[in-house]
Amino acid sequence: MNKTMTTTWDGGLRFVHTSATGHELITDVPTESGGTDTAPTPLELVLLGLIGCTGVDVTAILTKMKEPLEGLEISADFERAEKHPRVYTRIHLRYNFRGKLDEKKVQRAIALSETKYCSVSAMVGQTAKITHEYTIEG
């Protein structure tokens, strides 16, 4: 393992993170937790990583299936543990597809992402029950 990511304190509770591929992003925490609320929290990034990961998977799978995907939006509702560590305990994903898509192929793409390809889902699923629903417009 020879990849490295770094984070640099930017004052208060704000940090600038640099990925192993050289991309930067910022995290902060809400003002009630001592931050300045100028960026997503580190835990929010985990959930954004989950919906981004499944989005990449599902899009790639439907493209390989030659499905005419015109758009995709994924949202996530969540619950967290009451006590520290306040991990996600329940996550409900909502996929909103656009295009004249075969419903069975959409179901298959979601299932493959959830059970085989999405690394973030595999990790987060250790502490959170992940469920989903989908709609297809068009």
Torsion from C-alpha of 47, 51, 53, 56, nearest 10 degrees: -160
pLDDT at residue 1 greater than cutoff 80: no
Which pLDDT band holds residue 37 (cuts at 50, 70, 90)?
A: very high
pLDDT digits (tens, 9 = 90+) for 58-81: 999 999 999 999 999 999 999 999
Block residue for tokens 């898509």: 101
Give the percent of the chain with pLDDT over 70.
Answer: 100
The Cα angle at residue 67 between residues 109 and 75, in degrees rounded to 5: 50
Rounded CA Rg of the chain: 17
pLDDT digits (tens, 9 = 90+) for 86-138: 999 999 999 999 999 999 999 999 999 999 999 999 999 999 999 999 999 98
Q: Locate 69 and state its tokens.
A: 């995907």
pLDDT at residue 16 greater than cutoff 80: yes
Q: Taking the model in full, what pTM does it have? A: 0.94
Q: What is the CATH number of domain 42-137?
A: 3.30.300.20
CA distance 138 to 134: 13
